[in-house]
Chains A and B, each alone.
Chain A
Amino acid sequence: MTLTIQTALFIALVGILGIFIFMFIFYLLIKGLDKWFPYEEEKPEQDLILDEVED
């Protein structure tokens, strides 16, 4: 087995593992962002203006 093939196999192994690790970290970040910033019904702009007037 030549050095090139050995290097290619090593890069393939590390690359596949690396990409799964990257994507798993991104998965955790998405889960975290979803938890930290849950969806809230946004107030229509008209209501915001009325709130300001009342203040």
Chain B
Amino acid sequence: MGLEQLLPAISGMTWQHLVMIGVGLILIYLAIAKKYEPTLLLPMGFGAILVNIPLSSAITQIDPATGKAVEGVLNIFFDAGIATEIFPLLIFIAIGAMIDFSPLFRNPSLLLFGAAAQFGIFLTMVLAALLGYDIREAASIGIIGAADGPTSIVVASRFAPNLLGPISVAAYSYMALVPIIQPPVIRMLTTKKERLIRMTGNNNKKISKKALIAFPIVITIAAGIIAPSSLALIGFLMFGNLIRECGVLNKLSMSAQNELSSLVTILLGITIASTMTAERFIRVDTLIIIALGLFAFVFDTFGGVIFAKFLNIFRKEGNKINPMVGACGISAFPMSARVIHQMGQKEDPYNYLLMPAISANVGGQIGSVVAGGIILTLVPLLA
């Protein structure tokens, strides 16, 4: 009996499998050494190794003796948790429980940046269509620009499950790379004078508890009336927030923020990896999707900054918006706000942009979910 019969995985190993194992190791390295979204990239990296060892029982295999499919645990998780959208929606409850919407009540006008900084999603969708992707795939690629992992997963699992692996990797990797992607784009679009603008606002204004409790309920009803298809996304986010703000479910709120979030994140990451098999991942498409994801993030930043500059045309001197804050309209929270605050401090150590930046960033969290809901509504109608 030869070694190949004793260790059939060796005879089944191809260079594509080795490349994918390398990709898994790179993701684990980025998670541990660079701390790039470790909660997701580490399970995804390990999962990529797990599914790319030939004959792995973690994924569905055909039994050579019977010719029947033997279901792997990751495929079962995928069918139960991602194809049904349960995992990403549970994550939304956890995210909702983590978000404090009071910065939006202090600077409500900055909510609009949450809309402007979704520009990259739609531009990327058009570019993907120009490159030959069908509209469902193009929308799934564009949603990488939401800078919101769960929204990307919901849209991609519904419209392009074949592209879920590269879309998830791109979405989570670029979210971690916001401090590298945003600053050069912002510097290119703004003058030093603009970056020095100081913003005064109602940063210390106290917000009524009743308003914070009513907010998730009112938003859910409004979103449901306007676009019922977006309700699963927005509703779960707002449900998590209501648990946080109601004041009588502190134990549940803490559970959602910690145990629920941790458990589902582990399952989500490793389950997405079930789509990262060599035959699905090693394709030109993957490289194109990763490049388009970067394009989406760059043009999100562009949209936010240019919208701020546009608003400044109509605002009086002394009441202008620092255009860098516009870039915080993406959903990567609180990383984007922190990056902009640091950029502001670099230009002028006495310029504190953190509060307005956080307000815009919270707006981005709502904006990305709304963008996902709009795409989920429009694409089936027109495709």
User: What residues of chain A have their CB less than 8 Å away from a CB belonging to chain B?
Assistant: 2, 4-5, 7-12, 14-16, 18-27, 29-31, 33-34, 36-40, 42
Main secondary structure of the interface of A (DSSP, over half): helix
How many whole Å from A42's CB to the nearest CB in chain B?
A: 8
Tell me, yes or no, whether B28 is within 8 Å of chain A by CB: no
Binary contact readout B99-138 vs A (1 if CB under 8 angstroms, 0 otherwise): 0000011001101101110110111011011100111001
- Tell me whether B378 and A15 are in contact (CB under 8 A): yes
Instruction: Report the Cα distance A10→B379, complex, angstroms.
Output: 10
Chain A residues lying within 8 Å of B226, measured Cβ to Cβ, are: 21-22, 25
Chain A residues lying within 8 Å of B80, measured Cβ to Cβ, are: none
User: What residues of chain B have their CB less than 8 Å away from a CB belonging to chain A?
Assistant: 104-105, 108-109, 111-112, 114-116, 118-119, 121-123, 125-126, 128-130, 133-135, 138-139, 205-211, 214-215, 218-219, 222-223, 226-227, 363, 366-367, 370-371, 374-375, 378-379, 382-383
- Tell me whether A37 and B210 are in contact (CB under 8 A): yes
- Tell me whether A37 and B208 are in contact (CB under 8 A): yes
- Tell me whether A5 and B129 are in contact (CB under 8 A): yes
- Give 4 new A-B contacts, CB below 8 A, not counting A8-B138, A11-B139: A8-B130, A8-B135, A12-B123, A25-B222
Chain B residues lying within 8 Å of A8, measured Cβ to Cβ, are: 125-126, 128-130, 135, 138
- Tell me whether A22 and B370 are in contact (CB under 8 A): yes
A-B contacts, 23 listed (Cβ < 8 Å) = A4-B135, A8-B126, A9-B126, A11-B125, A11-B135, A11-B378, A11-B382, A14-B378, A16-B115, A16-B122, A19-B118, A22-B370, A23-B111, A23-B112, A23-B363, A27-B111, A29-B218, A33-B211, A33-B214, A34-B108, A37-B208, A37-B211, A38-B208
Chain B residues lying within 8 Å of A25, measured Cβ to Cβ, are: 222, 226
Instruction: Report the Cα distance A40→B356, complex, angstroms.
Output: 24
- Tell me whether B139 and A37 are in contact (CB under 8 A): no
- Tell me whether B125 and A19 are in contact (CB under 8 A): no
Pairs A-B, 3 closest by C-beta atoms: A8-B129, A12-B122, A37-B211
Instruction: Report the Cα distance A14→B382, complex, angstroms.
Output: 12
Chain A residues lying within 8 Å of B119, measured Cβ to Cβ, are: 16
Instruction: Report the Cα distance A23→B367, complex, angstroms.
Output: 7
Instruction: Report the Cα distance A18→B370, complex, angstroms.
Output: 9
Chain B residues lying within 8 Å of A38, measured Cβ to Cβ, are: 208
- Tell me whether B114 and A7 are in contact (CB under 8 A): no
How many whole Å from B81's CB to the nearest CB in chain A?
A: 28
How many whole Å from A23's CB to the nearest CB in chain B?
A: 4
- Tell me whether A20 and B374 are in contact (CB under 8 A): no
Instruction: Report the Cα distance A19→B128, complex, angstroms.
Output: 21
Instruction: Report the Cα distance A31→B64, complex, angstroms.
Output: 65
How many whole Å from A19's CB to the nearest CB in chain B?
A: 4
- Tell me whether A7 and B370 are in contact (CB under 8 A): no
Least CB separation from A19: chain B residue: B115
Supposing A15-B374, A18-B374 touch, asked if A31 and B138 sit within 8 A by C-beta, the answer is: no
- Tell me whether A12 and B367 are in contact (CB under 8 A): no
Supposing A4-B134, A37-B210 touch, asked if A19 and B370 sit within 8 A by C-beta, the answer is: yes
- Tell me whether B112 and A20 are in contact (CB under 8 A): yes
- Tell me whether A26 and B111 are in contact (CB under 8 A): yes
- Tell me whether A27 and B112 are in contact (CB under 8 A): yes
Chain B residues lying within 8 Å of A21, measured Cβ to Cβ, are: 226
Chain B residues lying within 8 Å of A23, measured Cβ to Cβ, are: 111-112, 114-115, 363, 366-367, 370
Chain A residues lying within 8 Å of B219, measured Cβ to Cβ, are: 26, 29
How many whole Å from A29's CB to the nearest CB in chain B?
A: 5
How many whole Å from A7's CB to the nearest CB in chain B?
A: 5
Partner of A30, one of B126, B129, B130, B215: B215
Least CB separation from A6: chain B residue: B129
Instruction: Report the Cα distance A4→B114, complex, angstroms.
Output: 27
Instruction: Report the Cα distance A8→B126, complex, angstroms.
Output: 5
- Tell me whether B211 and A4 are in contact (CB under 8 A): no
